[in-house]
Structure 1
């Protein structure tokens, strides 16, 4: 046996240990440039790439970025009937829910937090696109209503961070019913003279855009976010015309009056703090 054969088992063991100790997600590929970005650096930049792409982030990450000192009280989501229509396409709806929950460690696409932003009390509800495309279903509708009720009970403003591909087709008409229900929840905020601010992120489309995403007192958008009802490809195929550059992106919508301001992610907390301070509700009489 040669000296190489004698040391080979030790080398193989060392290499296997190093491979197992290396995280699979140490690097993230930039969607714009294809450049491999070090995950820790990207997290430090709030998941904004050097090219300026505001990458999609989950609800927990968003809440930690927005609240002072990343501290907030998580609000439990209401229970809803699962798979009310016993829906099945190439896969059962219940199986899709199980897979999404396992992948995202969340019950559904909405997360709610209550805390302070620049010292101002506020309820924040966040939609996570990674959970079944952030689709609006019964669970999301109930969560939105819960967030509005919490804001009214605590006499504070509400911020909704949108990211969705539309209504959840597996719940049929029950998903579409969430559009008027969430609208009524916003009315309850207005009746209580409480501010409702919307942050539009990439992408915000479908029934969400046709309801609570466009009913805010103030609409803020992250740079480059796709915002619209139908996607640009569907529109081009329908009207058989080429759409203008940047159509349905944040900057285009701001130019055409559908968005009030486009704000870099790093400046969101400061912006929300100023707006909440100006729109702060009057203290309730004892």
Structure 2
């Protein structure tokens, strides 16, 4: 999705470092719910080009640390992905991101990008999971047109033995316009940081565990996902999720040495339910929605920026 950078001519005079308040503000929020990880795309840092210009780009994903809270009922066993090389799966990913921002007492403005529906074929190989993108659709006519040449774009995932995603590869087809490339990349980032890892101990129905990830960037966030195994039918698991995020610092350092903003308030939390099959590489169904509000202040002026945002990631077969 294209990143919007507001020009200083549209800011009140009091917000002289208007660039501090709004430049890249959408880039920070684009990964929604704290997915402004470092590796976020240069599109978000510069407002220009996405990552995969003419080549595959590999991005490491922050380590996920699982902690068992309750082992649940008997019988218990280790949960591990067990799909064989060559296993394929048809699945559709949908991402929906909403953001409003308000500067001082100006009216709130909506900068929400269009939702994306991304059909894909996942194939397990010796290097992880290869994803072939089908025909992406979106309510935005211009973006929808941009996606007409994106068929056949690829992504790839490396996963740990516990099912945690450790690496994301992006390789849009060469004909894909930059706007479609950036939108595709950001959708996958959202999905990656809404994934789940399993505990390293045997569990049964009712088990509860946490997954902790530190998402680094201008603002480093602690993301904690609490998972509850609510039911199991063979390899098919239903898992309830609760997500919360907390900044580890009180300052957001803007990219490109643009300055810093004080974090006056940061609330981001949400819930969801996903169904996974241990014999398949991706979730088979479910949705996770995370939202909240953040308040940033420029210490060199009286300017305050308030963002209200939410992300919804869903899977269907």
Length-normalised TM-score, structure 2: 0.24
Q: Which has the larger radius of gyration?
A: 1
Higher RCO (C-alpha 8 Å, min separation 6): 2
More strand by percentage: 2
More helix by percentage: 1
